[in-house]
Chains A and B, each alone.
Chain A
Amino acid sequence: MNDDKTIVCRCEDIDIETIRKLIDQGVTSLEEIKRITRCGMGPCQGKTCGPVIAREIAMKTGQPMEEILSPRSRPPFGGVLFQEVLEGIDDEE
């Protein structure tokens, strides 16, 4: 198996090679990588890919993992259907 084509972000279909290239270019924060590749913007909101990318950054830059891993989780956590939001409103009324 070609290691470089390993998918890191299943939501957005991003492979490790794409991530490594960016880190080599000096893009070494989760926020920036997210903005460029969409890694972490999908339904899982970075729960799967976050730690993997953070480890790649840590290996390249020597920064501790805890410092790198402060990705911003956006509500609504886990994703919610419009329909569910609307039902929620009706229940209250």
Chain B
Amino acid sequence: MKNKASVVIVGGGITGTSTAFSLAKRGVKDIVLIEREGLASGATGRCGAGIRQQWGTFQNCLLARESMKVFENFQEVLGTDIDIELKQKGYLLLAYSEKEMDQFRRNVEVQHQLDIPSRLVSCREAKEIVPFLNTEKMLGGAFCPTDGHANPFLATKAYAKAAERLGVEILMKTEVKAITVVNDRIKGVHTSQGFIETDKVVNAAGGWSAQIGEMAGLHLPVYSERHEILVTEPVNPIMDPMVMSFSYNIYCQQTPHGSFIMGYGPQNEPRGYNVNATWQFLETMARKAAWLLPPLKNMRIVRQWAGLYNMSPDRQPIVCESEIVKGFFMGIGFSGHGFMIAPAVGTLLADLITGSPLTWDVVLDLGRYDRHETIAEPSVV
């Protein structure tokens, strides 16, 4: 292990590995990435793996679209032969009220400014896309054919391998225990394998990012919340898009591998690090899914698990350098959509760390909360 590094990245999920790759690609040397367990062992390897560009704010549409461009050209951009199983069969969003339909109308207008090929759909059109969809109570929806899914384990592995090829040292089964800060500057990182001297740390610790903040004496405004999910055995392809509803509170997608993967946002979930799976989830999920997508009734659930959403005050990511501790960078608070925008986040963190102007004109800093400029994204689960 190196005892000196130019940058130490904490966390081997999609955020940490994509940041390592972007930085190394710009020629930064002596980068070390530290992961307590294995690659994608946090939220990344537990997520729904959906990628959508149908957002309600310009900035989110931009981050998602730019990330999708990377997913679309992954092998070329990374110089890898790993196939991340990208599926672009769309996201079908369902509306159950006029208000929701109006929101989709406004969202689609924003999306069109960025050439995202989304459109509003009637119930009949929705049924053409998913013939067995139960459209009872539904008013219509929105659809973007280029949204989809990619395999998060393979995407993380590909980023890690590409970063290693460019000289990044990746230490697994190694835990960051403490961070040394002197005169509001980062001086080094204490790990379970020893001390690494550095003046830059990247907090990409997902659900545990608040703890990494505490190590540097920072109270980051994020907390973690369990979200459960389940998967069925693989069956023949019968459903093209991710089907999702904010008001009915569900998402469900058939992966390229054939299994159906689905979840919903919990009510009154306490803050914390609990990732146990529950019977309550299994029952509610079965009821919701069987009502909306009746053929699921005869499918076999093979696994259920849970992961942590890292929540921020406006349910939007925080990507910036701390204004208090120089050299402390973070990509945290993804609030349930950090996989799909990770390529863009890696680029932004590399901009910040190398002192370059941001590749895109976005506001994701911590200071936005003090300035009362929170991001008002209407379309989150």
Contact = CB atoms under 8 A, between A and B. Distances in A.
A1 interface: no
B296 A82 contact: yes
Nearest to B277: A75
A10 B242 CA distance: 28
Interface stretch (A39-47, A48-56, A62-70): A39-47
Interface in A75-93: 75-76, 79-83, 85-86, 88-89
Contacts of B22: none
Contacts of B352: none
A81 B304 contact: no
| Interface of A: prevailing SS | mixed
Interface stretch (B48-56, B179-187, B280-288, B331-339): B280-288
Interface residues of B, number: 28
Contact of A41 (B154, B282, B302): B302
A7 to B, nearest CB: 16
A83 B301 CA distance: 10
Given A82-B301, A85-B286, A89-B283, A29 B38 contact: yes
B162 to A, nearest CB: 15
10 contacts: A29-B38, A31-B38, A35-B38, A35-B153, A79-B301, A79-B302, A80-B300, A81-B297, A82-B289, A82-B296
Contact of A35 (B40, B290, B298): B40
Interface of A: 29, 31-32, 35-36, 38, 41-43, 45, 74-76, 79-83, 85-86, 88-89
The 6 A-B residue pairs whose C-beta atoms are closest, nearest first, are A85-B286, A74-B303, A35-B153, A79-B300, A83-B297, A82-B286
Contacts of A36: 153-154, 157
Contacts of B296: 82
Contacts of A32: 38-39
B257 interface: yes
Interface in B297-354: 297-305
B283 A85 contact: yes
Contacts of B41: 31
B233 interface: yes
B186 to A, nearest CB: 30
Contacts of B282: 75-76, 85
Contacts of B300: 43, 79-81
A80 B301 contact: yes
B45 interface: yes
A81 B302 contact: no
A81 B283 CA distance: 11
A7 B137 CA distance: 48
Contact of A89 (B287, B289, B302): B287
Nearest to B37: A31
Given A36-B154, A43-B233, A82 B302 contact: no
B233 A75 contact: no
Nearest to A37: B153
Contact of A86 (B286, B299, B305): B286
B2 to A, nearest CB: 19
Contacts of B45: 35
Contacts of A41: 231, 302-303
B20 to A, nearest CB: 18
A59 B39 CA distance: 24
A42 B302 contact: yes
Contact of A85 (B39, B157, B301): B301
